Amino acid sequence: MTVTNALSHADLMDRTYRHQRLIYDITRRYYLLGRDRLLRDLAPPPGARVLEIACGTGRNLARVKALYPGCELFGLDISEEMLRSARTKLGSQARLVQADATDFDANALFGTDGFDRVVLSYSLSMIPDWQRALRLAAAQVRPGGALHVVDFGQQDGLPPWFRSLLNTWLARFHVTPRTGLEAQLRELADQQNGTLRFEHLYRSYAQLGILTRSN
């Protein structure tokens, strides 16, 4: 039986991050590329509600607060270990709850009827049923709002030896780049009568999508 089968996904994430969370922000700045670009693109309207699904240590939400001080911040994550770091960092600046990105009710968790901006940053690659998480994330966006996604890309612009090393290393952290991300986002954009901006960054090391809902 593999570790994934023996443990629930929440347990697996807690186990993965119990110690890593303490060095997470310092180490991940060198390889979770494109997160600051996502935050610059976010540009929420004044007073906007911003939800990060799988918010981890709260690194992105803290930056949203610094860049766009008037926003209301919300975060959820399946790992209580990661949320411990997020709570320490954000205090009362954000409402943070433990929840599964593939099965949550934002109204019950936060008492809200949607968000102006929803963020998925380097999380779909760790969520087994990532398509379901993506659909649920898109459903949280208010008309006129946007879903912003950044994650590992297909890496087809990178040398084969580097891709092989990278994927071996990512697998140790239960990370699988989602090659179908662009197609899934496009399908959702069509369903919502919205628009999609999609980019491959750093020779496809990362991929970034913005799905904007029509009003």
Ligand X SMILES: C[S@@+](CC[C@H](N)C(=O)[O-])C[C@H]1O[C@@H](n2cnc3c(N)ncnc32)[C@H](O)[C@@H]1O
CB of 174 to ligand X, least distance (A): 8
Cβ at position 11, least distance to ligand X in Å: 11
Least Cβ distance, residue 215 to ligand X (angstroms): 28
Q: Footprint of ligand X on this chain (CB under 6 A)?
A: 9, 13, 32, 35, 54-56, 59-60, 77-79, 82, 100-102, 121-123, 126-127
**Could you tell me the smallest distance in angstroms from the CB atom of residue 133 to ligand X?**
6
Closer by beta carbon to ligand X, 121 or else 155: 121
Contact 181, 149 (CB under 8 A): yes
Which residue, 109 or 158, has its beta carbon nearer to ligand X?
Answer: 109
**Gap between the Cα atoms of 92 and 178, Å rounded:** 34
Residue 71 or 82 with smaller CB distance to ligand X: 82
Q: Output 47 or 167, the one with its CB closest to ligand X.
A: 167
Q: Which is nearer to ligand X, 134 or 143 (CB)?
A: 134
Give the C-alpha distances (Å, rounded to integers) separating 194 from 15, 80, 135: 38, 34, 14
Query: How is residue 44 annotated by DSSP?
Result: P
Query: In residues, how long is the chain?
Result: 215
65 neighbors 93 (Cβ within 8 angstroms): yes
Distance from the first to the final alpha carbon of the chain: 48
Beta bridge mates, 211 = 147, 196
Q: How far is the CB of 214 from ligand X (least distance, A)?
A: 27
Residue carrying structure tokens 């092989």: 164
C-beta of 9 vs 148, nearer to ligand X: 9
Question: Order of strands across the sheet with 141-152?
Answer: 94-98, 72-77, 49-53, 115-121, 141-152, 206-212, 195-201
Torsion-angle region of 49 (φ positive above 0: left; ψ -120 to 50: alpha; else: beta): beta
Residue 124 CB, nearest distance to ligand X (Å)?
Answer: 9
C-beta nearest to ligand X: residue: 56
